[in-house]
Structure 1
Amino acid sequence: MTDNSSRSVTVERTSTGRFTATNPRGGTLDFGTGAAGDTTFTPVELLLAALGGCTAVDVDVATSRHAEPSRFTVSVAGTKVDDELGQRLTDLAVTFHVTFPDGEGAERARAILPRAVRTSHDRLCTVSRTVEVGTPVATAVEEG
């Protein structure tokens, strides 16, 4: 049996303030500091995208088997604070905007949408579960 529980990415500096993340399958994503004129995502924006994207994937799988949505948008927001605990985000909110056209399966998709969002948030979405439960992050420096 293969252990499929490990997850990883590699982050490589490409220039001042610019980086590329690479996953084990070879996919890449560029990001940066958000400096003027830089349209790449910042690490905080990537976190927000991961929060929304994780639940979006779960919800899409559950609902689109019944009907194809005519609109499926997830907005994610938070407030950046700097207090005695350091810089962090508070008031994280993930909001779904999903519409299904009339037709076969649409009523079923609409009916299960709230449950699918709740189940993803409460049990399935690794990203939001990790943030809410709280997991220590270890850092290290290796020479070479």
Structure 2
Amino acid sequence: MTDNSLRSVTVERTSLGHFTATNARGSTISFGTGSDAEGDAVFTPVELLLAAIGGCTAVDVDVATSRHAEPVKFSVEVTGNKVGDELGNRMTDLVVTFSVDFPDGEGAERARIVFPRAVKASHDRLCTVSRTVEIGTPVKAVIEGA
């Protein structure tokens, strides 16, 4: 691993069931159990996982296609089923669905040709998030000072 391979976020509790994640660049995102006492909806950790899968592959595909034409529609939906069984709580049947349209024109035709290859390349090689989920990477829980 190189010195620049490490990625990290810090998760801080803000109140019961509510947290804020901060990355090394200072960006933050709030999440929690799904809603708070005032009814403000927040993302759950599972929804953030789905967003990370969709966002990672969306970035890959956008970079590959937008150099040819700016899309008029670019949406990615990620779905899955949350189950609890003898293996514990987990997500199954994850599906990433792209809905992308390009305008008319030569560049757009090239973007339409590149699009399926970009989706495949992202899924098979490029998207760190979905590759990590599919391959399966152990997660170690450590208690500081223990």
- For normalisation by structure 2, the TM-score amounts to 0.94
Aligned length: 143
* Sequence identity (%): 75
- Superposition RMSD on alpha carbons, in Å? 1.4
Amino acid at match of 1:25: R
Counterpart of 2:21 in structure 1: which amino acid? Answer: A
In structure 1, the partner of 2:15 is 15
Displacement after TM superposition at 1:103 (Å):
2.1
| Alignment map for 1:13-52 (pairs within 5 Å) | 13-35=13-35, 37-52=39-54
Gaps in structure 2 of 5+ consecutive residues: none
- The answer as to whether partners of 1:32 and 1:38 remain within 8 angstroms in 2 is no
CA–CA separation in structure 1 for the residues paired with 2:25 and 2:133: 25
Q: Which residue of 1 aligns with 2:133?
A: 131
Aligned partners of 1:114, 1:135: CA distance in 2, in Å?
27
1:3 aligns with 3
Partner of 2:106: helix, strand, or coil?
coil
Three-state SS of the structure 1 residue aligned to 2:124 is helix
Alignment match, 2:142: 140
Residue by residue, what CA displacement relative to the aligned partner does 1:61-117 show, whole Å, maximum 9, x if unpaired?
A: 000000000000000000011111011000000000000011230000001100000
Kept in 2, the 8 Å contact 1:34–1:41? The answer is yes
Which SS does the other structure have where 2:120 is aligned? helix
Give SS of 2:123's match: helix
Kindly report structure 1 stretches of 4+ aligned residues shifted beyond 2 Å.
none
Instruction: Please tell me whether the aligned partners of residues 35 and 42 of structure 2 are also in contact (alpha carbons under 8 angstroms).
Output: no
- Unaligned 5+ segments in structure 1 are none
